[in-house]
Structure 1
Amino acid sequence: MHYEGKIYRPWMEAHSLLIQTTLGCSNNQCTFCTMFDDKRFSVRDIEDIFLDIEEARRANPHVESIFLIDGNVMAMRTENLLKVLDKIKLLFPELKNLALYSGFNDFRRKSVSELKEMRSAGLTTAYSGLESGDPIVLQRIKKRMTRENAIEGMEMAREADIRVLASFIFGMGGKERSTDHIVNTTSLLNIMKPDAIAPMALAVQPGSELEKEIARNEFTLPSPLQILEEEKYLLENMDDFDCYYWGDHGNNISSMRGAWPAAREPFLENINKQIAYNPVTEKNVIETFAW
């Protein structure tokens, strides 16, 4: 296989075969992120993608899950993305899961009929970064997305029967906007009702704009207690829609995952214990590891 630059995939896709389809991220401005700062966004030549798919088939006798990288694969021209999906479907008839990264705005740049074509071609799941539901936080982190954009993108994906996992970040509002961040994020999730969510604790990436903002005292990191209280608010106030809760990212203070809403009570019991007894709550600033 041939990969260029730093490679990322969701932790849920740890056992998936990775096919590099695009390079970098079409936004690549988010203040908290350095995932793709080593390359400019571009789409790989389709013949090179095909060669990788063919090589992957020769090397792997049985593959049930494939994840397309890099960021915002959905930003590809529909015609070419469909060719990639069709090629994978042809060579991997045993495949059960075919997923990719997609911004909510990337859904909006397609038509529902295009998204339905992708679903028919084998696309099952899209991982989409929400980060926050607070308008001020979204603007500050340069997400180039509004609450309304996220709602529209989610509705289009649902109409096309593409499962969406929405990721967001505890602590993204910093110390000052912790409450606004989690209240608005929870309210947005209740409107969108994604198929799965992946909450992660904020991690400061070396070299990121966020790191510079912290150095200039323009952003104050939240405390571990605030992170736990944000998750508690989410658990208490998220509606009872069917969803899978991937709360077991390595940076999360309280690692939990399970089917929602059945998991609400055991998760709340756990988070309350963390708040009451975990000594990390005595620290003033959250300490997490770079991705």
Structure 2
Amino acid sequence: MHYEGKIYRPWMEAKSVLIQTTLGCSNNQCTFCTMFDDKRFKVRELEAIFKDIDEARLLHRKVESIFLIDGNVMAMRTDKLLKILDKIKVTFPELKHLALYSGFNDFRRKSMSELKELRSAGLTTAYSGLESGDPIVLERIKKGMTREHAIKGMEMAREANIQVLASFIFGLGGKERSVEHAKNTTSLLNIMRPDAIAPMALAIQPGSELERELHRGEFALPTPLQILEEEKYLLENMDDFPCYYWGDHGNNIASMRGVWPEVRQSFLQNINQHIAHNPMAKKNAIETYAW
């Protein structure tokens, strides 16, 4: 198996075989992110990808889950992605789960027939960074996406029967826009109704543009209490649509996961306990560290 540069995968994919199909991220401008600052976006050659798939077959007697990396793999041409999926399907007939990173804009840039072809070829799940539902925060972080883009992308993924996990970041609005960030993100989730969500608390990455904004005084770190209150607002106001809540990212103050909406009350009790009794909630700013 051959990998180039820093490698990332969602924590839910810890047991998946990783196949590198793209290098980097086609956007690669988000102010909070340094995941792919060591490479420029490109699609790997099919020959190299196929070689890795064959080597993975030799290494693993049984593979039920594969995750395609790097960044937004969905950005590649559909015909090339279909060839990769077909190769995987033939090589791993026992496969049950095939996932990748995809921006919500990447769904919009495909036709519905293309998305349905990808689903038929074995694609089951896409991990998509929502980050925020607040228009001002989305503009400030240079996401290159609007609320309307996210809604349309989710609609298209759902019609194609591709499951979507939407990730977003508590605290991304900073101290100034904490309330607006929480309210607008929750309202957007209620419109989109993704199959799963992965909320995580902000951690300022060394070398990121957001770190420079922090040092220049253009961004003020939220407090841990604001992080907890953002999640409390979400838990109180997210609608009762079926969804899996992956709230156990390592950054999170209150780690919890489960099937929504059944977990609402137990999660709220947990958050309220942290607000009332966690010493971290008394601190003036969140602690930051590298991923």
Paired residue total: 291
**1:59 positional shift:** 1.1
Q: Structure 1: 5+ residue runs without aligned partners?
A: none
Aligned counterpart, 1:174: 174
**1:258 positional shift:** 0.1
Q: How does 1:85-234 map to 2 (within 5 A)?
A: 85-234=85-234
What secondary structure is seen at the aligned counterpart in 2 of 1:270?
Answer: helix
TM-score by structure 1 length? 1.00
* Structure 1 runs of 4+ with >4 Å offset: none
What secondary structure is seen at the aligned counterpart in 1 of 2:93?
Answer: coil
What secondary structure is seen at the aligned counterpart in 1 of 2:143?
Answer: coil
What secondary structure is seen at the aligned counterpart in 2 of 1:197?
Answer: strand
Q: Which amino acid aligns with 2:193?
A: K
Aligned counterpart, 2:287: 287
Contact 1:251/1:288, CA 8 A, preserved across alignment: no
| Matches of 1:138 and 1:260, distance apart in 2 | 26
Q: Which amino acid aligns with 1:251?
A: N
CA displacement 1:177-215 (0-9 Å, x = unmatched): 000001000000000000000000000000000000000
Q: Which amino acid aligns with 1:105?
A: N
Q: Which amino acid aligns with 1:197?
A: I
Contact 1:251/1:289, CA 8 A, preserved across alignment: no
| Matches of 1:15 and 1:290, distance apart in 2 | 23
Q: Which amino acid aligns with 2:282?
A: E
Q: How does 1:234-249 map to 2 (within 5 A)?
A: 234-249=234-249
Q: Structure 2: 5+ residue runs without aligned partners?
A: none
| Superposed CA RMSD | 0.4
CA displacement 1:113-136 (0-9 Å, x = unmatched): 100000000000000000000000
**1:288 positional shift:** 3.7
Contact 1:75/1:102, CA 8 A, preserved across alignment: yes
What secondary structure is seen at the aligned counterpart in 2 of 1:98?
Answer: strand
TM-score by structure 2 length? 1.00
CA displacement 1:156-177 (0-9 Å, x = unmatched): 0000000000000000000000
Aligned counterpart, 1:69: 69
Aligned counterpart, 2:263: 263
| Matches of 1:112 and 1:262, distance apart in 2 | 33
Range 186-195 or range 54-63, more displaced: 54-63
